[in-house]
Structure 1
């Protein structure tokens, strides 16, 4: 982590680690999905490793079709489970919510696998057709 930022990461470093654009990271901040843990004296966003982990989780949810609201709910449920001060009832509710999202994630991953198989079939078809076409 950066020596001059007190162990925090600047937004550019976070963008490199997460493969997200600066615009996307700022957008997630505006939506309160992932807010920087600190600000520099100049007002620049500073992130912790936990903030980066949260962004990576969002990045994993995005291709599975989760809405921003669902992302927020899922992140909140994870936060409840990570908090040692939560009650048994809160933990049970958060766990139940995670199971719902696990099922949605599984269904979305299956759909993506099917789409990938179709894309690979199509690519193979094009390769075969291109190979069979005489060149001039």
Structure 2
């Protein structure tokens, strides 16, 4: 549908493209689908369509980077071929690094993004950066009222 709306001459449906992109991204990243790369591409597209990056879009993208990286880590742990295992671990690390970049953009713009700090902390933890993980988790706890 997105492609059809984008390629037609009807400017009246252009704003529908944004909502279709977000809806599609959510479906592709769903628990039964796990098409994370496609979902991330769609969230990137949604961010380009927004005049100012929306908190929810950035948060969804951050969460997908974390989930994708976590799934890749699990796949690597079960892999018996050392070369394939190393490649999966590299891909997982890349997703966590992208998660940190997205998370930094999110909390830099939305200072009270409770879940933004949570997932940013998780990504830092997966990268072995305990100090930044603890700092982000402390902010998460403070904002969520856990302190």
Q: If the TM-score is normalised by the length of the shorter chain, which range does it land in? A: 0.3 to 0.5
Higher strand share: 1
**Counting helix residues as a fraction of each chain, which structure ranks higher?**
2
Name which one, 1 or 2, has greater alpha-carbon Rg.
1
TM-score of the superposition, structure 2-length normalised? 0.32
Q: What is the TM-score with the length of structure 1 in the denominator?
A: 0.34
